[in-house]
Structures are given as C-alpha cells and as structure tokens.
Amino acid sequence: MRFLPLIPAIALIAACNTVAPVTGAGFNTPQYQAQREAQLAGQGTVGDPLLAPADVSQETLGAQGTGSTFPAASGSNADIANQTAAALANTSGGGGATAVVTTAPNNTGISDEQDFAAVSERRSIESDAARIDQNRQTYEVVAPTAVPERSTGGQPNIVQYALSTTNPVGAQLYSRAGFNLQAKAQRNCAQFPSSDQAQIEFLSNGGPQRDRKGLDPDGDGFACSWDPSPFRSAVNN
C-alpha cells in the first residue's frame, strides 16, 4: 500500500518522455529530406518516390469552389504564358484571356510644331511660299511722320541749349562783375531742387549773357554747376 502514490508519478514521467511520431506528408519531414538527398546523389529513392512536377501541377485546386485544374508546366516561356492565361481563364470563369488595350491620351492642346515628321505631313515648300505671299499682301506700310515737338510750357529747352554749346564746364565765356560771386551763387543755388531747374531759371532771366540772380559766377554759361556733357554724349552715341 505504500507504493500506490508512486504509480501516478511514474505514469506522468513516462508521458513526458514519449516522442510523438511524425505523421502526415510534408516537405520538412525526415522521410522527405532523405528521399530528396538520395535523388540528388543518384542513389535511387528511399521509401515512396517523390511526385513528379507534372503530377503535382495536375492536382485539383479548390480555390473559389470551382474545382479547376491547371495544366502541367513545360520548359518554354511561351508554354508557361499560355498555361498561365488558361489558368486565369478557368479561375475567372471566362472563355479566354482578355487582352488589355491602352490608348494614348489625345493631347489636342499641345502643339506639335517642333515635330518635324508631323509638320512635314501638313506642310510643304510650296504651301509655305503661298502663306508668305498671303502675309505680304496683308502688310500695312505706315508712313513716317515728324516727331512731335516737346512742349516746354514757354520755358527754355536746356537740351537744345546743351547741344548748341561746345565749351567745357568752367571755361569762361561771359564776364561777371561783383564781389563774393561764389558765396552768392552758393546761397542762390540752394533754393533750387536740381541744377536743371537752376539752368532753366538762369536762361529765363537773360542767361547766358546776363546773370541777374548770380547763378553763374565763373561765366561759363552753366548755372549752379549744371553739366551739358550727358546730353552731348547721348547725341554722339
């Protein structure tokens, strides 16, 4: 009676050490690996021979419940393509493979003037010559007219005055009398926003011969350091 509690423990240890046999077919079983290695080594087969690829491909597939069978694969790419098309037709329920046709977009808004082949189909040397003649007939010749004179509002034109002179700035042409002419010119020239305005005022009051407001102390005919060189250079260029 003392040994009765040991019986369940011994049974439990025996169950843990029992190795479950490998059952069922599969590619990772020791039997399959042994057969595979034997065939590769040319030693024949061990146990049941492996199924040929053709036999495997003829097995019925149960996809989508249709029971369709795929034909055996062959070695050429054309046969494989045909078999694939047939298989797709069987699984989809259609009568054959459907060709996919793609059409190029109609880009009517894009010009093909840079495409020589496209333009040469529509045009020729004769058609271009006729088009040029047609354009020439529509030409409109505009007769040149005199340039309108610029309105000065009754003021002296300093551009014309600059072009009528040749002496450089500082070269005396007219006599000036008085004391502290330079200091007086500086005070008077400060009243004008620009030397152009000072020159217009100078010519409007007797210049260049007379300098009533003391704007041309050196007597060169140019008030407040006004320079006619830019106008002369524009004409020469």
DSSP letters spanning 42-56: TS--SSSPPPPHHHH
The 3-class SS string of 129-195 reads HHHHHHHHHCCCCCCCCCCCCCCCCCCCCHHHHHHHCCCCCCCCCCCCCCCCHHHHHHHHHCCCCCH
- Comparing CA positions, the residue from 179, 161, 180, 153 lying closest to residue 220 is 161
3-state secondary structure of 69: strand
Residue 198 has pLDDT above 90, yes or no: yes
R_g of the chain, CA atoms, integer Å = 55
Which range, 1-5, 178-182, 207-211, is most confident?
Answer: 207-211
Residue 96 has pLDDT above 50, yes or no: no
pLDDT tens, position by position, 23-33: 445 556 777 78
Which range, 43-47, 65-69, 74-78, 220-224, is most confident?
Answer: 220-224
Beta strands in the chain, from DSSP E residues, in sequence order: none
Query: With contact defined as beta carbons under 8 Å apart, do 214 and 180 qualify?
Result: no
The pLDDT of residue 8: 59
The region of weakest confidence among 20-24, 87-91, 123-127, 211-215 is 20-24
The pLDDT of residue 12: 57
Is the bond preceding residue 208 a cis peptide, omega within 30 degrees?
yes
